[in-house]
Chains A and B, each alone.
Chain A
Amino acid sequence: MRMQQVFRVCNSCRHILQRKLIQPLPQVSQALSYTTEPTRYTVSYEDFKYVQDMLPPSRIPEPPTHGSYPTPSGWVAPSEKAPDLPYFISRTKFHVLPIVEKEKPRDQPVTVVFYIDGDIWALEKELKELIRPYVEFDPATRVHEVTRSITLKGHHAEVIEKFLYAKGF
């Protein structure tokens, strides 16, 4: 019975299906005819100024001089003359002091000072004395001469930053 019903429906639809097939295909619209046309263009030197604004700088730009320090974001510029000390600390590419607070595995808090030139051991002595009031025991440090860095046990970035800004780095 069900098959008969299907056939009956098919028969009734046949004339609709056939009509669709007989119908001619839609004509190609006139808008598509422009593809045959050759493209004309003008060479403009003036519009390149918009491109020039988008080109990235080839080097890191030097920071401008401000009236007073610290700036709104808390940035302090290094002194113009290098301080007369046996050691020197250079800034990072973001123009901040290279001090990092991190936690080793087993939650051992540690601060690291990078980019040290000259006498590392003289700086290490001064940093030990600086941190002594904030630590219960004798301050633990490690000096790495190859990577030019000093690691200190505990988080002391703020204290060291103030100390180095006062020196003029």
Chain B
Amino acid sequence: TNEQMSNSSYKSLLRNLPRVNLQNLKANPYAEVKHSPNRGPHAIGLKNGVRPNIKPRIGYVQDKTPFQKRIPKYGYNREQHLKRQYFPLTLWQLQRHVDLGRIDPTKPVDITAISNGRVLSMVGSESNYYGIYLLEQGANIFKAKLDIEVQIVDELALATVEKAGGTVSTAFYDRRSFVALCNPVEYFLMGKPIHKRLLPPQELVTYYTDPKVRGYLSDPAKIWEERMKLAKKYGYDLPELSEEQKHLMVEGKKDPRQVFNGLMPGSIVNLADKTVLVPENEHFKQHAAM
């Protein structure tokens, strides 16, 4: 029949003609051609067929990384979380608290004595604090005879304390031992064995081995020479030290690996029974001596 014939002819046509591809496709005749808007550096966007007067952002360069991204930036507060901070303590403050009886001048003055006397409101765990900075304000009135241990000291402050007959030493404490020294009761109540103090980092080794600032790692024989030199520079006579002070400078010095004076690392303090549990095993002693 007619229909059968027509069907077979179409089928044969489809078989012989090429397939529809992306390459074959063409737009319809009289179709509208839509141009994509030109997104160059000069203007962005096309609104209602009108090019708005919007310039690209400042520093934009076509097909290039912009200037402010290519060059790395260094801020004022860069690496501030790594910087060591110190509580400032003036000589006037020290003198006032000696006058009021808050600091006992017969005993050596250190971080615990200053925090117990409420001279500074030190919260050890507050921030990146590493100790006390002794400043020279009040050098003209300072007369107390003190044996002080601080972390950093001014030259004039050092001279005035030594002129009055006292001694100064600078010592490094890591964060953990500084927090323990600020509030020793809270530390002992944890019931843990006392830890070992760390040695100073590489940047501070030169400071704490320097006899000019009475570093705790320096040679005690050189400290005597530097005391004489400083007395000559500022023009005063060095008063003679008592035997207790001499003992404190050389033999009775706190060990560089000790946090608390007289307490071996590894021992536990019992505040209720008023005792100290000292370990006897040899490896504890080895660990403390290392």
**B interface, size bucket:** 35 or more
Find the B residue at minimum CB distance from A71. B99
Could you say which of B101, B142, B185, B269 contacts A61, with CB atoms under 8 Å apart?
B101
Q: Is A137 an interface residue (CB 8 A)?
A: no
Q: Find B184's partner among A42, A54, A73 (CB 8 Å cutoff).
A: A54
Q: Decide if B276 touches A44 in the complex (CB within 8 Å).
A: yes
Contact A72 B143 (CB under 8 A): yes
Query: Within the assembled complex, what's the spacing in Å between the Cα atoms of A31 and B262?
Result: 27
| Cα–Cα distance between A53 and B143 once the two chains are bound (Å) | 24
B278 touches A47 (CB 8 A): yes
User: When chains A and B are docked, how far (Å) is the Cα of A51 from the Cα of B270?
Assistant: 10
Task: Find chain A residues with CB under 8 A from B262 CB.
Answer: 47, 49-50
Q: Which of B96, B101, B107, B271 contacts A53 (CB 8 A)?
A: B107
A44 touches B275 (CB 8 A): yes
Decide if B129 is an interface residue (CB 8 Å cutoff).
no
Shortest C-beta distance, A165 to chain B (Å), equals 15
**Which residue of B107, B112, B141, B269 is within 8 Å of A72 (Cβ)?**
B141
How far, in Å, is A131 (CB) from chain B's closest CB? Answer: 28
From B107, B141, B263, B278, A42 is in contact (CB under 8 Å) with B278
Chain A interface residue count, CB cutoff 8 Å, equals 32
Docked complex Cα distance between A55 and B104 (Å): 13
A40 to B266, CA, bound (A): 12
Q: What are the interface flags for A32-59 relative to B under an 8 Å C-beta threshold, 1 for contact and 0 otherwise?
A: 0010010111111101111101111100
Q: Would you call A7 an interface residue if the criterion is a C-beta within 8 Å of the partner chain's C-beta atoms?
A: no
B209 close to A (CB within 8 Å): no
A-B contact pairs, 27 of them (CB 8 A): A34-B281, A37-B281, A40-B279, A40-B280, A40-B281, A41-B278, A42-B277, A43-B277, A47-B267, A47-B276, A48-B269, A48-B276, A50-B261, A51-B269, A53-B261, A54-B112, A54-B184, A54-B260, A55-B116, A61-B102, A72-B95, A72-B143, A72-B144, A73-B96, A74-B141, A75-B96, A75-B100
